Amino acid sequence: MINEKMQNAFNDQINKEFYSEYLYLAMKAKFAEMNLQGFVNWFDVQVQEERAHGMGMYDYILERGGEVKLEAIDKPQIKGTTPIEIFEQVVEHEEYVTSRINALMDVAEEIKDRAALSFLDWYLKEQVEEESSVGGVLATLKLIGDDKKALLMLDKDLAARVFNPPVIG
């Protein structure tokens, strides 16, 4: 049976993962409005990943004999209007998610829940990949600047991204 404190921390993180899904869905719509279909695809993959992350934790709670408690998801707030501004927010958001995974690990360490630590190790590694990937897109956008042809080339590159369902845990 999962410890109640751990269960509550996981339930809170499930909410954060589904908020991430919702935020990226809103960002996907912004890029659709800009007619940048490669960026739309990039965010579509991101939406699917965030859902998979949340569902991984959802399933983990149930597997440990716990209770999933879903709460309301906050309305997503997009801070910028340009690709650079939006990706700056994505970097900031992914850093926040990393801090939340670290906080979950802190709870697991505090209560000596080694199963949770083992499970969360995958999420920690995933966040390293997420921050690197998003940081790479942002760095490229900054190099591009106002060059519309280069933006379209990046858009074409981002169209090739595909969702690979993760094997969590």
Q: Residue 72 falls within a domain, yes or no?
A: yes
Q: Residue 63 falls within a domain, yes or no?
A: yes
pTM for this structure?
0.95
Percent of the chain with pLDDT strictly greater than 70: 100
CATH of the domain at 100: 1.20.1260.10
Q: Residue 9 falls within a domain, yes or no?
A: yes
Neighbours of 41 (CB within 10 A): 19
Q: Residue 141 falls within a domain, yes or no?
A: yes
pLDDT grade, residue 97 (50/70/90)?
very high
Task: Measure CA 16 to chain center.
Answer: 9
**What tokens appear for 97 in the block?**
């998610």
pLDDT at 168: 87
pLDDT at 56: 98
pLDDT tens for 137-148 read 999 999 999 999
pLDDT tens for 30-57 read 999 999 999 999 999 999 999 999 999 9
Question: Which residue from 100, 137, 136 is spatially nearest to 120, judged by alpha carbons?
Answer: 100
Q: Residue 128 falls within a domain, yes or no?
A: yes
Parent domain of 111: 4-158
pLDDT at 104: 98
Q: Are the C-beta atoms of residues 14 and 6 closer than 8 Å to each other?
A: no
Q: Residue 167 falls within a domain, yes or no?
A: no
pLDDT tens for 54-92 read 999 999 999 999 999 999 999 999 999 999 999 999 999
Q: Residue 79 falls within a domain, yes or no?
A: yes
Look at residue 169 and tell me whether its pLDDT is greater than 90: no
Q: Residue 163 falls within a domain, yes or no?
A: no
Total structural domains within the chain: 1
How many whole angstroms separate alpha carbon 127 and alpha carbon 168? 13
